[in-house]
Every structure is written in structure tokens, then in C-alpha cells.
Amino acid sequence: KQEVTQIPAALSVPEGENLVLNCSFTDSAIYNLQWFRQDPGKGLTSLLLIQSSQREQTSGRLNASLDKSSGRSTLYIAASQPGDSATYLCAVSPVYNQGGKLIFGQGTELSVKP
Amino acid sequence: GAGVSQSPSNKVTEKGKDVELRCDPISGHTALYWYRQRLGQGLEFLIYFQGNSAPDKSGLPSDRFSAERTGESVSTLTIQRTQQEDSAVYLCASNQGLGAFFGQGTRLTVV
């Protein structure tokens, strides 16, 4: 059974710092991995999608990496801003579903202090 | 449409009543999922539709929960005889192989 774990559960940093969020999964047979952002009381916003054949994806100040063999992904946020404060979730799709049912981690709650 | 649309955005119902939640996926997306998020908790998978295949209902918590989807269009999640523990945000997402896109959710409160 696939399990997704995110560490740390919460993180507080001063504005301007670079930071890394971690996501690990127990079954390397994934179709893709997706990082989301959730603001309080809101839905999920997709940040980056990494297909199983890819090693990383970049969007602006965000960079996500994937090491399937070790069951790990990281989300790197450069030059953090107070507006980055949110809960960050990673989710994997099992290969047999080809992009179907997403299995989520519990999230990392990020607070960026001005 | 431009994104996944869910309605209503908020629903308050009395314990024991039935409720129906609606999800309009992104046009052309064959995959659609429902998740539930209780206050302060993670996302709990409920059900997954993929095209005309039989849905994956493995996450439905009880037989009071059911969902339907007509083709690749609208889906409805029905909760019968609501209980207070059903209070949560119900999130819908659709996917066409390029990642899942979520709606803003329906906040259900059972009083």
C-alpha cells in the first residue's frame, strides 16, 4: 500500500530564505508526482507536476525534484515571500491507474515572516 | 469551463437530511475524483471515475455515500441521512494526464 509522508509538518522562516520541503513515498511504481498549495479555507492549487520519467520541474521560484528509486521528492522555494505562506501538499499517482487516484501526504504548513 | 466548478460553495443541513453536491470538471477531462477534508486534517480519497470504466469506490466511508457521473461531464456526490461527522470540505478534481486540477470545494456543515 502506497504511503506518502511529508517532513516537516510545519516550518517557519524569515522572508528571503531559501527552503526545502520533503516528500517521501513507499512504492516507487508511480505514474507522476504533483505538488499543490492550499491556502486556508481554499481548494488546492497545482504548482508542479513531475512525470515518472522526469527528474525535475521548475516554475519561477519553485523547483521540484524526483528520485523515484529512493522514493523522494523535494520542493525548493527560492527567496521566500510572506505570500508563500500556505500548506504544501505532495501527491502521487500509482502507475496502474495512469494518472488516476492521487495519494496525498499530510502536508507541510509554511509560514514566511516579514 | 476554465476550471473545476463546485456547487454549492457552502451547505448547512440538519442531521438526517440528504444532500447533493455537484462538480463540473474541466471540459475534456476523463478522470474525476472526490476527496473529503475534515477540519485540520489531510485529504481523504472518496471515489474516482475514469472515462467509461467502473469507478473506484474504495474510499466511500459508508453506504450513505454515493456518486454518479454521466459520461465525461458533471458528477454528483450524494450523502443520505447526514451525520455530524460528515461535516467537512468536499473537494472535486479532474485530470487528463497533465495533473489534477481541483475545485474550490463545498463546505458541508451538519447541525
Concatenating the DSSP letter of every residue in B17-81 gives: --EEEEEEPPTT--EEEEEEE-TT--EEEEEEEETTSPPB-TT--STTEEEEE-TTS-EEEEE-S
Q: What local confidence, expressed as pLDDT, does residue A97 receive?
A: 56
CB contact under 8 A, A44 and B98: no
Which of A35, A44, A48, A51 would best serve as a mutation to test chain B binding (most B beta carbons within 10 A)?
A44
The pLDDT of residue A92 is above 70: yes
Q: What local confidence, expressed as pLDDT, does residue A96 receive?
A: 63
User: Measured between alpha carbons, how far is A70 from B47 in angstroms, rounded to an integer?
Assistant: 29
Mean of the pLDDT values across residues A23-44?
Answer: 92
Query: N- to C-terminal Cα distance for chain A?
Result: 41
Chain A partners within 8 Å of B32 (Cβ)? none
The pLDDT of residue A11 is above 70: yes
8 A C-beta contact, residue A87 and residue A109: yes
Band (pLDDT 50/70/90 cuts) for residue A1 is confident
Nearest CA in chain B to A37: B102
A106 in reach of chain B (CB within 8 A)? yes
The partner residue sitting opposite B103, judged by closest CB among A34, A43, A46, is: A43
- Mean pLDDT per block of 10 residues along chain B (111 residues) reads 90 98 93 93 92 90 95 93 97 88 96 97
Chain B partners within 8 Å of A44 (Cβ)? 91, 93, 102
A99 in reach of chain B (CB within 8 A)? yes
Quick check: helix, strand or coil at residue B84?
helix
Nearest CA in chain B to A92: B99
Query: N- to C-terminal Cα distance for chain B?
Result: 33
Q: Say what percent of chain A tops pLDDT 70.
A: 96
Chain B partners within 8 Å of A105 (Cβ)? 42
